[in-house]
Amino acid sequence: MILETKRLWLREMEQSDYSSLCKILQDEEAMYAYEGVFSDDEVQSWLDKQIRNYKERGFGLWAVMLNGIDEMIGQCGLTMQEYGNKQILEVGYLFQKSFWGHGYATEAAIACKNYAFTKLNAAEVFSIIRDTNIASQNVAKRSGMTLADTFTKHYRGIDMPHFLFSVKRSVQQ
């Protein structure tokens, strides 16, 4: 286990999480900000990338487990993302649709933000969110982030407007 909150625990994803990951990455509604669902091969590549990140960086998107349920309900964690001409530390989150609206993403995102500040000694963390993804923007705001910039990201052959949210480590952390 990497992190634990009141209702959740986060751990490294493993190959046995593939089918749970498909419930997220192959759901049209969950993936609307990505302009479509992932193929089986894209899901496997996503999973392989996280496992590689754990080995190379010591972090990645982690499996989010709900206390009392032995199934991955979402993913939340830290990744390095390109913004401008530099790499930034991002808190990312994506959950199965059936677990939306319960505050799990916010709870997990706050835990990951705190992990970045206390364990990785990060001075600032970010979330990159598509301009149409209001729910994810609200998670960023509830986790203490504010809008820092707007920019366009080219993904899957489409120019997509995005917001950059950020929060700096407080003196207490």
- The domain ranges of the chain are 3-168
pLDDT digits (tens, 9 = 90+) for 81-127: 999 899 999 999 999 999 999 999 999 999 999 999 999 999 999 99
The DSSP symbol for 120 reads: S
Residue 60 pLDDT exceeds 90: yes
Query: From the CB of residue 97, how many other CB atoms can be counted at a distance below 10 Å?
Result: 14
Three-class SS of residue 139?
Answer: helix
Alpha helices in the chain (DSSP H): 18-25, 40-57, 104-118, 134-142
Q: In this structure, are residues 10 and 1 in contact, taking their beta carbons and an 8 Å threshold?
A: yes
> Which pLDDT band, with edges at 50, 70 and 90, does 144 fall under?
very high
Alpha-carbon gap, residue 86 to 150, rounded angstroms: 16
3-168 has CATH 3.40.630.30 classification: yes
pTM above threshold 0.85: yes
Provide the token pair at 83: 């913004």
Q: In this structure, are residues 137 and 29 in contact, taking their beta carbons and an 8 Å threshold?
A: no
